[in-house]
Amino acid sequence: MRRVTLTQFLIEQQRAGRVSADLRLLLEVVARAVKAISVNVSKGALAGVLGEAGTDNVQGEAQKKLDVIANEILLLANEWGGHLAAMASEEVETVHQIPFDYPKGGYLLLFDPLDGSSNIDVNISVGTIFSVLRNPPGGGDPTEQSFLQPGREQVAAGYAVYGPSTQLVLTVGNGVHAFTLDREMGSFIYTHPFMTVPEETQEFAINASNARHWEEPVKRYIGELQEGKGGPRGRDFNMRWVASMVADVHRVLTRGGIFMYPIDEKCRAQGGKLRLMYEANPMAMLIEQAGGAATTGREHILDIIPSKLHQRIPVILGSKSEVDRVTGYHLEG
Ligand code: AHM
Ligand code: MG
């Protein structure tokens, strides 16, 4: 059987005029970095990479050793290729400029190097999320302002999930495509063309321990799901919560569902729990490209004009009919 690699897929996208040579290089470099992160994640205790790094990130969260390692791998891999104008990472406070001895390109790369890192030490799936924007014309080094573009401007987005297998899930604006890492060969093989989120679902994902802090529309929506067959929805719903956004969204992309981290009284002061630029925007682009929907409960995530690099927002995404319903409850109120 002929196997299509990520490289071949990207070359074909380039030939079809969907990606430029530089964007192809960028995505190949990200995929190479993801392979290195996958190796480190899978060695676990054998490589002494588990546990705390002993430092805090810009958000004041304790960093795990693997947060720091994954961040370093992505920064170093992407500095020298000449395809980037600058980078921004969930783990780094300010814009990461390309060292001046390397050429600069026209793209901006943003990433959450290791999402769900509270799950590392218990050997549960974690992931890397990334987003690609164009550097706005204007000359000079990119500033924070250069990155503050709505998610609709993303030219590519994706994530890697480090689970029983490592998968890279990618969109360049032409559907969602997934690749599975062949560890012996060291290459990503095209295994899931044009992934779609089924419109209907009977599965939801939310951290239900926050229930007492939720707003009314979320309480109403989740309450109706929990009433099951005898309630207004007339059927039973199942709940899953991995607490790794990548793993939860991957399940939604694979078999449908709704994923929610809504605004609540606990996270209201910060604007939400999840990060707009590193988590919400890339996942929203993937979900919309797969036929699903992504809102904050009140507006489309991809339409939000960011106000700062590390901005947090509420996230509701997945099967369209469910996202539309709970968004409708918010807009009624
Ligand atoms: P992180 O980027 O610091 O790992 O935080 C984001 C994670 C998401 O992956 C996940 O959906 C959420 O935080 C879990 O939150 P909670 O611990 O409230 O369940
Ligand atoms: Mg994260």
State mean pLDDT over 43-59. Answer: 76
Shortest-distance atom of ligand 1 to CA 126? 9
Gap between the Cα atoms of 41 and 38, Å rounded: 5
262 lines ligand 1 (CB under 6 A): no
CA distances from 115 to 36, 121, 128, 279 (A): 16, 13, 6, 8
For residues 176 and 140, the model is more confident at: 176
Shortest-distance atom of ligand 1 to CA 210? 18
Give residue 185's pLDDT. 93
Task: Give the three-state DSSP class for 144.
Answer: helix
Give residue 271's pLDDT. 97
207 lines ligand 1 (CB under 6 A): yes
What count of residues does the chain have? 333
**Mean of all residue pLDDT scores within the chain:** 95
For residues 49 and 311, the model is more confident at: 311
Give residue 57's pLDDT. 74
Instruction: Tell me the pLDDT band of 63, cut-offs 50, 70 and 90.
Output: confident
Ligand number nearest to the C-alpha of 110:
2
- In the chain, how many H helices and how many E strands? 8, 17
Specify burial of residue 193 (Cβ count, 10 A radius: 0-12, 13-18, 19+): exposed
Say how many Å lie between the CA of residue 316 and the centre of ligand 2.
Answer: 15
Nearest CA to ligand 1 atom 5: 116
243 lines ligand 1 (CB under 6 A): yes
Give residue 238's pLDDT. 97
What are the start-end ranges of the H helices in the chain?
6-15, 21-43, 65-79, 144-147, 216-227, 245-255, 281-289, 320-332
Check if the beta carbon of residue 96 is closer than 8 Å to that of residue 108.
no
Cα 108–Cα 179–Cα 199 angle in degrees, nearest 5:
90
Superfamily of structural domain 6-192: Fructose-1,6-Bisphosphatase, subunit A, domain 1 (3.30.540.10)
Check if the beta carbon of residue 107 is closer than 8 Å to that of residue 137.
no
Give residue 222's pLDDT. 98
Q: Which residues contact 267 (CB under 8 A, 6 or more apart)?
A: 273, 312
Gap between the Cα atoms of 25 and 177, Å rounded: 17
- Answer yes or no: is pLDDT of 51 > 90: no
Give residue 2's pLDDT. 84
Specify burial of residue 265 (Cβ count, 10 A radius: 0-12, 13-18, 19+): exposed
- Answer yes or no: is pLDDT of 157 > 90: yes
154 lines ligand 1 (CB under 6 A): no
Give residue 50's pLDDT. 76
245 lines ligand 1 (CB under 6 A): yes
Say how many Å lie between the CA of residue 322 and the centre of ligand 2.
Answer: 24
Query: pLDDT tens across 97-149, in order?
Result: 999 999 999 999 999 999 998 898 899 999 999 999 999 998 788 999 999 99
Give residue 99's pLDDT. 94
Ligand number nearest to the C-alpha of 272:
1
Instruction: Tell me the pLDDT band of 192, cut-offs 50, 70 and 90.
Output: very high
Gap between the Cα atoms of 144 and 151, Å rounded: 15
Comparing CA positions, the residue from 83, 74, 77 lying closest to residue 107 is: 83
Instruction: Tell me the pLDDT band of 53, cut-offs 50, 70 and 90.
Output: confident
Comparing CA positions, the residue from 139, 145, 133, 196 lying closest to residue 169 is: 196
Q: Is 151 left (phi over 0), alpha (psi -120 to 50) or beta?
A: alpha
Ligand number nearest to the C-alpha of 59:
1
Gap between the Cα atoms of 157 and 154, Å rounded: 7
Give residue 229's pLDDT. 97
Q: In the chain, where does the domain assigned CATH 3.30.540.10 lie? A: 6-192
Q: In the chain, where does the domain assigned CATH 3.40.190.80 lie? A: 203-332
Say how many Å lie between the CA of residue 122 and the centre of ligand 1.
Answer: 14
Gap between the Cα atoms of 177 and 282, Å rounded: 14
Comparing CA positions, the residue from 215, 278, 223 lying closest to residue 245 is: 278
Give residue 45's pLDDT. 75
Instruction: Tell me the pLDDT band of 54, cut-offs 50, 70 and 90.
Output: confident
- Predicted TM-score (pTM) of the model is 0.96
Gap between the Cα atoms of 278 and 55, Å rounded: 20
- Answer yes or no: is pLDDT of 18 > 80: yes
DSSP string, 72-108: HHHHHHHHSSS-EEEEEETT-SS-EEPPTTS---SEE
Q: Phi then psi for 181, rounded to 5 degrees?
A: -75, 120
Give residue 1's pLDDT. 73
Would you give the DSSP letter of residue 231? Answer: S
115 lines ligand 1 (CB under 6 A): yes
Shortest-distance atom of ligand 1 to CA 127? 9
91 lines ligand 1 (CB under 6 A): no
State mean pLDDT over 158-185. Answer: 97
Cα 271 to chain center, whole Å? 18
Query: pLDDT tens across 218-256, in order?
Result: 999 999 999 999 999 999 999 999 999 999 999 999 999
Strand partners, 188: 181
Give residue 121's pLDDT. 86
Of 64-78, 154-168, 178-192, 246-260, where does mean pLDDT reach its minimum? 64-78
Per cent of the chain over pLDDT 90 is 87
User: What would the two tokens of residue 306 be?
Assistant: 């960011």
Of 61-70, 139-148, 211-220, 282-291, where does mean pLDDT reach its minimum? 61-70
State mean pLDDT over 281-291. Answer: 98
Say how many Å lie between the CA of residue 73 and the centre of ligand 1.
Answer: 21
May I ask the CATH architecture of the domain 203-332? Answer: 3-Layer(aba) Sandwich (3.40)
Instruction: Tell me the pLDDT band of 44, cut-offs 50, 70 and 90.
Output: confident
